[in-house]
């Protein structure tokens, strides 16, 4: 199991950064480990249900299993669960999804559970909080490259294009002062260059998607919804037409490799990987 976790989650994490994308290891961990290997093991061994502590809900309506946001909006984890399907949802329980975190902590305290005062788990699934650059450096070598403006003008250096993500503001060295804060607006891992620019260059109102998944298993070609492009991020009105998401407004920092999740009010329609 450890080797499979390394292969399906950790190797994916490294490979995505190597290829210039920003991975979403928690989505992959839920898909491949919690509701992949673990779920499959439970079903093969005769268990009726799998229960986890995700802040999300399952509701059956008209013979269809719906995935809903958790009641506690500040802890909602539905974003990480968009790859679930009907068979899985029919056998999954989310017992904390109808409660707020403070209620859960009170129950834990009343029952003298050691987790009552433990901090919330953060960071990479099963690993926790890490310095991403330091973590990547274990497998990916540093290699100095150029920081350039959109017109190709060299203005500084960085330690390897794969270590950075779209929208990042620090971690590279600028030798020619530009007067405004600069953000990573593009990465070229083949030539090991970072293109930087002012914040307004990072606002986009449309993007392509791939690996599209719908919770009910029914393909939808053209529909309106709200979308979330990061965990607990704002919800934006959008139209999804095949592999294009068109937003009603420009949004900052859309990063290839991350997930976009489609919502209809509290219900998760599905999601995809940003291309």
Active site residue 225: no
Identify the H or E element spanning 249: strand 244-252
Cβ contacts of 78 within 8 Å, gap of 6 or more: 55, 56, 67, 68, 69, 70, 261, 268
Best CA proximity match to 188, nearest among 158, 162, 156, 154? 162
Contacts of 5 (CB under 8 A, 6+ apart): 33, 126
Active site residue 29: yes
The SS3 assignment for 99 reads coil
Catalytic annotation, pick one of 9, 10, 27, 29? 29
Token couple for 151: 């017109």
Of the candidates 92, 125, 182, 260, the residue annotated as catalytic is: 125
Between CA 190 and CA 273 the distance in angstroms is 22
| DSSP-derived pairing of the beta strands 145-148 and 193-197 | parallel
Token pair listed for 73: 């909006």
> Which residues sit opposite 241 in a β-bridge?
222, 244
Cite the active site residues.
29, 125
């Amino acid at each position: 199991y450890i080797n499979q976790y390394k292969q399906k989650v950790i190797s994916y994490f490294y490979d995505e950064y190597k290829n210039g994308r920003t991975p979403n290891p928690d989505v992959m961990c839920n898909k491949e480990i919690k509701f992949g290997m673990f779920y499959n093991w439970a079903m093969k061994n005769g268990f009726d249900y799998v229960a986890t502590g995700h802040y999300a809900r399952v509701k059956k309506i008209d013979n269809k299993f719906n995935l809903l946001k958790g009641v506690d909006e500040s802890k909602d984890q539905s974003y990480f669960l968009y790859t679930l399907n009907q068979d899985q949802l029919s056998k999954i329980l989310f017992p904390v999804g109808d409660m707020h975190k403070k209620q859960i902590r009170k129950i834990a305290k009343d029952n003298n559970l050691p987790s009552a005062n433990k901090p919330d788990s953060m960071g990479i699934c099963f690993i926790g909080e890490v310095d991403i650059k330091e973590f990547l450096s274990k497998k990916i070598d540093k290699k100095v490259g150029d920081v350039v403006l959109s017109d190709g003008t060299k203005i500084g250096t960085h330690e390897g294009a794969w270590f950075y993500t779209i929208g990042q503001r620090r971690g590279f060295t600028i030798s020619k002062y530009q007067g405004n804060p600069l953000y990573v607006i593009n990465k070229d891992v083949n030539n090991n260059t970072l293109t930087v620019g002012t914040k307004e260059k990072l606002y986009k109102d449309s993007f392509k998607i791939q690996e599209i998944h719908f919770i009910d298993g029914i393909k939808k070609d053209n529909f309106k919804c709200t979308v979330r492009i990061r965990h607990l991020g704002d919800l934006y009105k959008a139209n999804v037409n095949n592999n294009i998401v068109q937003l009603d407004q420009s949004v900052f920092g859309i990063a290839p490799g991350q997930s976009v999740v489609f919502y209809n009010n509290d219900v998760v329609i599905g999601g995809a990987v940003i291309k």
